[in-house]
Structure 1
Amino acid sequence: MTRYSVMILEDDLRASYLLESTITQDSDFQVVALSESVADAMLQYAIYQPNLIFVDITLPDGSGIEFMRRLRKQGVQCDFIMTTAERESTTVEQAVHLGVSDYLVKPIRMSRVNQALNDYKHYKQQLLAHSEVNQHDIDALLGKRAQKSQRETPKGIDATTLESLKNLIKEQDLQEFSADDIGQKMNISRVTARRYLEFLEGEGQVQLVLNYQTRGRPQRLYRTVYKK
């Protein structure tokens, strides 16, 4: 099985930690380099030549867009995923022209990183599986899949349990909580509670926050998101 090497170019230490900790949970990926500047990233790329680079746009010594452009001019064939607070359409257009695989808007959600990784794996595996592709294959690779008329919960997410969790958060007016808190309240394991909270995070109903006021690794907390 192919294992993809990853470099992270990010000067925000919290965002860099979230990316690294999320990526390393997927055994198909290996983080080989961390950079906080364009100059260092150029050196790191020459050493490690990663398959995939997570790139921030605003960096201390330049732009992530310019970093990608410089590598493209060198004929580099690696893939890029943007991680940035930039939302201007012109910036997105530049990134698309440079061939980014995905564009993640800060604050970065762990579930969205996982989705980007899974999409990347699927894309690469589909290309490796076929020497030639037909229109259906190309449409699938480009995400042009038929939309389902009715949304279904993914594997591992029970609709009844999910609804119970939503009701618990609403009825007890929970503002900030951990997977342990939810596990105890619902009499389920921490791992199960975390899986459901990650699903709600992906739906934009809760937000992952990292509590650094602890010894060792930061604590994962979830904060209720109120729609305006």
Structure 2
Amino acid sequence: MNNIRVLVVEDDAHIADLHRRFTERVEGCDVVGVAYSLDEAREMVEVLEPDLVLLDLYFPEGQQGTELLREIRAKGLETDVVLITAAREVGPLKEALRGGVFDYLIKPVIAARFNECLTKYRHYRSRLSSGVCIGQGDVDKLLHSAAKNSFSNASATLPKGIDPLTLGKVRSVLEQSDPAVGLSAEEVGAQMGVSRSTARRYLEYLVAVGVTYADLVYGSIGRPERRYFSI
């Protein structure tokens, strides 16, 4: 998979530079341009054809980033948008969601949240490019990745037999796997030095709380294999 080509659109030069540096720290992401106005952004979107636009909401003279979002959608461009704003009102969020933004970040953006957003986007792009056919599991994985955010709440009341440290290690192993291939319970167990049944118990718990997605993969020979994918 090629690196993600990112365009930063922000009228404040200091913040634009900060977002550029945040982006360049994320593996597999390249900043192809920085636009300080919506007019500049329109030209760069046409010429550079970025994969992702990091778009500020408010610009001078009453202009809003959602104007560019609507134009990108109207032209049918294969460019995704993450809206970044200091606004706390619900209205802009509703408009952004209707416009199909990939994510919505509130300023000042925390580096860890920024990194999470771009990493999630890389996995999303990788998943979409992994084949021409999709199933319900693929759709759920792509559209419901927000389930990760509720993982910490679910972890606060772990059921009997689920150790938080082991659970964290299982999740870490899965997150480092190829998002297009996933891992079987046997492979997770081998990496952690635990039995297949133990690995599967933890993996199935992650499926139950919505952090992991499981699917049956049919090989050319033998029975289908249950594999797990990090959402």
Is TM-score (shorter-chain normalized) higher than 0.5? yes
Selected match of 1:150 from 137, 149, 155: 155
SS at structure 1 position matched to 2:155: coil
Match of 2:95 in 1: 94
Alignment of 1:59-98 (within 5 A): 59-61=59-61, 62-98=63-99
Deviant stretches of 4+, over 4 Å: 144-148, 151-155
Asked if the contact 1:6–1:53 (Cα under 8 Å) also holds between the matched residues in 2, the reply is: yes
* CA displacement at 1:75 relative to structure 2: 2.0
Structure with the largest fraction of helix: 2
SS at structure 2 position matched to 1:87: coil
Asked if the contact 1:9–1:37 (Cα under 8 Å) also holds between the matched residues in 2, the reply is: yes
How many angstroms apart in 2 are the aligned matches of 1:100 and 1:50?
A: 15
How many angstroms apart in 1 are the aligned matches of 2:117 and 2:73?
A: 21
Asked if the contact 1:84–1:105 (Cα under 8 Å) also holds between the matched residues in 2, the reply is: yes
* CA displacement at 1:97 relative to structure 2: 1.1
How many angstroms apart in 2 are the aligned matches of 1:57 and 1:6?
A: 17
Alignment of 1:100-179 (within 5 A): 100-143=101-144, 145=147, 148=151, 149-150=154-155
Number of positions where the alignment pairs a residue of Structure 1 with one of Structure 2: 155
Unaligned runs of 5+ in 2: 157-163, 170-231
After superposition, give the CA deviation of every residue in 1:77-122 in whole Å (9 maximum; x if it has no partner): 2000011012222211111111100000001111111000011011
* CA displacement at 1:74 relative to structure 2: 1.9
How many angstroms apart in 1 are the aligned matches of 2:42 and 2:127?
A: 30
Tell me the TM-score normalized by structure 1: 0.63
Tell me the TM-score normalized by structure 2: 0.62
Match of 2:46 in 1: 46
How many angstroms apart in 2 are the aligned matches of 1:150 and 1:143?
A: 18
Letter in 2 for 1:103: Y
Asked if the contact 1:15–1:108 (Cα under 8 Å) also holds between the matched residues in 2, the reply is: no
Match of 1:27 in 2: 27
SS at structure 2 position matched to 1:126: helix
How many angstroms apart in 2 are the aligned matches of 1:64 and 1:76?
A: 16
How many angstroms apart in 2 are the aligned matches of 1:97 and 1:77?
A: 17
C-alpha RMSD of matched pairs (Å): 2.0
Identity over aligned residues, as a percent? 29
After superposition, give the CA deviation of every residue in 1:129-178 in whole Å (9 maximum; x if it has no partner): 132222222112112548653266867xxxxxxxxxxxxxxxxxxxxxxx
